[in-house]
Amino acid sequence: MQEPTTFQEAILYFADRNRCIDYLALRRWPDGKPVCPVCGRNDASFLEHQGRWQCKSVHHHRQFSVKVGTVMEDSAIPLEKWLPAIWAIVNDKNGISSWELHRALGITQKTAWFMLHRIRLGMSLQNKKFGTRKKMGGPEGGPVEVDETFVGGRKKNMHADKKIRYEARGGAFGKAVVQGILDRTTREVRAKVVPDIKRDTLQAEVLKNVKYGTAVYSDDAVGYDRMNWWYVHEVVNHSEEYVRGQVHTNGLENFWSLLKRTLNGTYVAVEPFHLDRYIDEQIFRYNNRATKENPLTDADRFSLALTQIANKRLTYAELTGKTAEGASPTPEPF
């Protein structure tokens, strides 16, 4: 069979275990030499009946599958279900809920929820470590948009007593702050949850991600004051206008609308503790969307996601905050 190009073809194609192994192995090891995760040898023998490889060196765990070293490691769910799940989440514009996935694959909702979070980790480019990635813009590059948004419950849906407490603390109290940076030339967006909207917090992320001398456009928020020390900074006052020539943040507003449509319409209730992974999911789809210059297909996005799932691990204890690394911060009292 030819490699799939649609979701229907993917379901039929990945119904065979051997095709799943071959397809994933080719994305993990393009040279056709699987690498032993213990000793690093790349001349392992394939055990056809077991669907795994055996390293020629004698040591513990000398047999390994194509899942080892990926977000799917130690999962009892077969590749015949993992790969269609990955196809669905990377190509569905508004995401796919764990309840929908559990009905489609015949697994429990809890298992589907865990699978989706592991896939989101695979889609991520380690977004929390902005400083390790190439900076955007530059004096010769295109302009960069900077903006932030608030993610949280709507006041009109709150109980009257809770609404009063929130209004007493300010309009955005209790909501998560998400800052975004968009390079108009490469059409790449980066976003992450930040602790507050103070000047030091917001501008520190811009300095990590944007080259000095870049044209930076933002709204007139106080947090972006004095950025003209490092950048060609122009602002737009949204109380008077939304666009002034090339000065606007409409590109990021488009990304925020897609993100909030996903959170409000598909996932409905998202804990702040997990919000970064949902943002990474939307960033992957946005940065790899089809354009005239780069007409990516569903198969292209799927193949790209499979190349990113290695060397990432998420246990259920980390996901639920039961380890020191995954512990959720104590919420601020009212």
DSSP 179-246: EEEEETTTTEEEEEEES---HHHHHHHHHHHB-TT-EEEEES-GGGTTGGGTSEEEEE-TTT-S-BTT
Question: What number is the average pLDDT over the span 168-186?
Answer: 82
The fold of the 130-277 domain, in CATH, is: Nucleotidyltransferase; domain 5 (3.30.420)
At 205 the pLDDT is 94
pTM equals 0.88
Q: Tokens 């490092």 sit at which residue?
A: 230
Residue-range domain boundaries for the chain: 15-123, 130-277
Strands 144-151 vs 215-219: parallel, antiparallel or unpaired: parallel
At 142 the pLDDT is 80
At 211 the pLDDT is 93
Of 40-54, 61-75, 76-90, 128-142, give the lowest mean pLDDT range: 128-142
The answer on pLDDT for 327 being more than 80 is no
